[in-house]
Chains A and B, each alone.
Chain A
């Protein structure tokens, strides 16, 4: 699964990419804002950036504080006696590595399973008008309205009855399935933009329906497959509710979200360790996100902006 993903992230999306360039060139040729207006715009944007980033920098700052001065009323971002003590404590005194590992295993598995389930069904929804298709599509849309908390009660009781409370099994199956409706929508929208003539030509040449799917449709839709993978990945990586209900109290199998919350939650809050852990969890996701945000958006808006 990794190869198509990385390929897709490198590949440029089909439509949106050349437009901003054109538009930008056009604007540059046409008008320049007055220097004062430009200054005002930059000032506003800088303030917005400060508001967006400052809370995050505060977390970094707390992570760097030595243990005896965690609770401080100082607003300095880099404490004068910065140390990595918290990071060391986190890695040695808690099960943080284990939580990270659990999250990683669960998330990768569910993202792969979710993409496979959605990719095949979306193809059927896109290319066949089978009986029940419209009802299915409406159901997929309506299922977006079900609050996750609503499924918690029955899923919890069913999980207790099946004896899968406190195991990964329930969580993996639940994650893989819950993101499927949204993924099907994205992928169906993308498949719809691929001309049918391509497949018809291949079918005439004697290829089977399945092989046209593998040889033509899937390679052409790698960008949207990557988007769906990324969505599934971030959704289960960031989930708290399902994990809390299904994984229960054994911290051996917790995901990082459950673990970090207990660090922050108790009466003697382990602020420093919480912050250090937050940074470790956040960095890879942010890098992935910034790198792929352009494609995320083109994938999201592709279905709605036609032409």
Chain B
């Protein structure tokens, strides 16, 4: 309690100074922009640039600059051993190597980290390809169950009935509670002796499952947790989409004698597309990049349960191979970028973006 009371003033001071810093930086930026664009060039977009400037500066400093810097890092041999001084890690990874030992200058000296992602284990034992395939499987399983479960529940809820709001509020709960808590609670349920699942199995006279040491069951438990977490979001999104479909379509279909299923197939599904497509795309990217669930369920135990982002975290912060993990990160990013570019090509969706 005393530590709590003692900490209030310092923390407020720290927050205050941070906000003050942001304010001062923004004001300086705006004045400079105004002087350059407004006074010097008399641009008609002065105000627009001034409005964008603070956010743009923030993104430049915290996203673009770190990314460029990380790219630089990915070409070096930086690790915990070469952390402090700039001179200690270099681009010329094999400058000191004996002549004749270098087989391929490009992959061994220029981009050794990128080559290592594919030719050496990314962690202690696992290679890139299995981790990548596991990530794809993880994404696929989760998104399929999220969409199927969410669609099923939304269809059930999309009708006049008693207790609709009640069901909706309860079903939304897994989305509403903080993810960290939900995942840690689930992790507890996979405890060998005191977890819910093994208690049930023992009651049924079956052998309890080694949730945390068997690679298959560990992966299974991650998927189960995330499916539970993700269904409500899809349900709510799809329900919102369904409610914006005009009832006249169904009325017409009813008169024509269409069955419930064909109404779903020919009215609900096509009309939901504007909602469903972005939800699936975002869901895919979010699941692919999801950190909390795999990390907190597995907690750096089984390497065979790592997906790409947790492997990335482990390579950087458990094995401290900074240069290597920077290269690894770019490979992961490129995979996602490729997916998105293909998707945009496929749907021609870029026009809508900038419209």
Residues of chain A whose beta carbon lies under 8 Å from any beta carbon of chain B: 16, 19-20, 22-24, 26-28, 30-31, 33, 38, 41-42, 44-45, 48-49, 51-53, 55-56, 58-59, 62, 71-73, 75, 92, 95, 97-98, 101-102, 105-106, 109, 113, 117-118, 120-121, 123-125, 127-128, 130-131, 133-134, 136-139, 141-158, 167-169, 172-174, 176-178, 180-181, 184, 209-210, 234, 237-238, 240-241, 245, 252-253, 257, 260-261, 264-265, 269, 271, 274-275, 278, 281-282, 285-286, 289-290, 293, 296-298, 300-301, 304-306
List the B residue with the shortest CB-CB distance to A274: B184
**Pair B18/A169 contact, Cβ less than 8 Å:** yes
Q: Given A118-B55, A147-B336, 7 other A-B contacts at CB below 8 A?
A: A49-B167, A49-B171, A109-B19, A153-B316, A154-B66, A176-B22, A285-B177
Is B329 located at the chain interface by the 8 A CB criterion? yes
**Pair A151/B63 contact, Cβ less than 8 Å:** yes
Set A117, A172, A174, A260: member contacting B55, Cβ < 8 A:
A117
From A49, A59, A149, A289, residue with most partner B Cβ within 10 Å: A149
Known: A131-B45, A152-B317. Contact between A281 and B181, CB under 8 A?
A: yes
Interface 1/0s, chain B 153-192, versus A by CB < 8 A? 1001101110100010111111111111110111111000
Is B88 located at the chain interface by the 8 A CB criterion? no
Known: A97-B1, A147-B289. Contact between A177 and B59, CB under 8 A?
A: yes
What residues on A are CB-neighbors of B202 within 8 Å?
Answer: 73
Known: A95-B3, A290-B172, A297-B240. Contact between A155 and B66, CB under 8 A?
A: yes
User: From residue A176, how far is it (CB to closest CB) to chain B in Å?
Assistant: 7
**Pair B322/A177 contact, Cβ less than 8 Å:** no
Q: List 29 A-B contacts (CB under 8 A).
A: A30-B247, A33-B159, A38-B161, A56-B185, A59-B185, A109-B15, A134-B354, A147-B333, A149-B291, A150-B309, A151-B66, A153-B316, A154-B69, A154-B73, A155-B62, A158-B66, A169-B21, A178-B62, A209-B47, A238-B180, A240-B291, A240-B296, A245-B317, A260-B181, A261-B296, A264-B188, A278-B181, A282-B177, A301-B241
Interface of B is mostly: helix
Set B58, B236, B275, B329: member contacting A153, Cβ < 8 A:
B329
User: From residue B20, how far is it (CB to closest CB) to chain A in Å?
Assistant: 11
What residues on A are CB-neighbors of B206 within 8 Å?
Answer: none
**CA–CA, A148 to B67, complex, Å?**
12
What residues on B are CB-neighbors of A296 within 8 Å?
Answer: 236
Known: A142-B337, A261-B184. Contact between A301 and B291, CB under 8 A?
A: no
In B239-258, the 8 Å CB interface with A consists of: 239-241, 243-244, 247, 251, 254
What residues on B are CB-neighbors of A142 within 8 Å?
Answer: 337, 340
Known: A52-B228, A240-B180, A290-B169. Contact between A153 and B325, CB under 8 A?
A: yes
Is B48 located at the chain interface by the 8 A CB criterion? yes
List the B residue with the shortest CB-CB distance to A140: B59
**CA–CA, A248 to B230, complex, Å?**
30
**CA–CA, A209 to B51, complex, Å?**
11
From A55, A92, A234, A293, residue with most partner B Cβ within 10 Å: A55
What residues on A are CB-neighbors of B317 within 8 Å?
Answer: 152, 156, 245
Known: A23-B247, A173-B22. Contact between A154 and B67, CB under 8 A?
A: yes
What residues on A are CB-neighbors of B161 within 8 Å?
Answer: 38, 41-42
**CA–CA, A210 to B17, complex, Å?**
28
**CA–CA, A144 to B254, complex, Å?**
42
User: From residue A213, how far is it (CB to closest CB) to chain B in Å?
Assistant: 8
**Pair A113/B19 contact, Cβ less than 8 Å:** yes
Is B93 located at the chain interface by the 8 A CB criterion? no
**CA–CA, A92 to B173, complex, Å?**
29
**Pair A265/B299 contact, Cβ less than 8 Å:** yes
Known: A52-B232, A297-B237. Contact between A147 and B312, CB under 8 A?
A: yes
Interface size on B, residues (CB 8 A): 110
What residues on B are CB-neighbors of A181 within 8 Å?
Answer: 59
**Pair A301/B54 contact, Cβ less than 8 Å:** no
Known: A41-B161, A121-B55, A238-B178. Contact between A173 and B292, CB under 8 A?
A: no
What residues on A are CB-neighbors of B308 within 8 Å?
Answer: 147
In B53-76, the 8 Å CB interface with A consists of: 54-56, 58-59, 61-63, 66-67, 69-70, 73
Known: A56-B173, A145-B336, A240-B180. Contact between A137 and B244, CB under 8 A?
A: no
Residues of chain B whose beta carbon lies under 8 Å from any beta carbon of chain A: 1, 3-4, 7-8, 11-12, 14-15, 17-19, 21-22, 45, 47-49, 51-52, 54-56, 58-59, 61-63, 66-67, 69-70, 73, 153, 156-157, 159-161, 163, 167, 169-182, 184-189, 193-194, 196, 199-200, 202, 228, 232, 236-237, 239-241, 243-244, 247, 251, 254, 274-275, 278, 282, 285, 288-289, 291-292, 296, 299, 308-310, 312-313, 316-317, 322, 325-326, 329-330, 332-333, 336-337, 340, 350, 353-354
What residues on B are CB-neighbors of A33 within 8 Å?
Answer: 159
User: From residue A184, how far is it (CB to closest CB) to chain B in Å?
Assistant: 7
List the B residue with the shortest CB-CB distance to A241: B291
List the B residue with the shortest CB-CB distance to A120: B51
**Pair A124/B48 contact, Cβ less than 8 Å:** yes
List the B residue with the shortest CB-CB distance to A112: B19
User: From residue B158, how far is it (CB to closest CB) to chain A in Å?
Assistant: 9
**CA–CA, A294 to B71, complex, Å?**
42
Set B157, B313, B340: member contacting A145, Cβ < 8 A:
B340
From B55, B313, B354, residue with most partner A Cβ within 10 Å: B55
What residues on B are CB-neighbors of A167 within 8 Å?
Answer: 14
**Pair A121/B3 contact, Cβ less than 8 Å:** no
From A75, A97, A153, A177, residue with most partner B Cβ within 10 Å: A153
**Pair B312/A150 contact, Cβ less than 8 Å:** yes
**Pair A257/B180 contact, Cβ less than 8 Å:** yes
Set B17, B160, B175, B187: member contacting A264, Cβ < 8 A:
B187
Set A26, A113, A172, A282: member contacting B181, Cβ < 8 A:
A282
What residues on A are CB-neighbors of B54 within 8 Å?
Answer: 117, 120-121
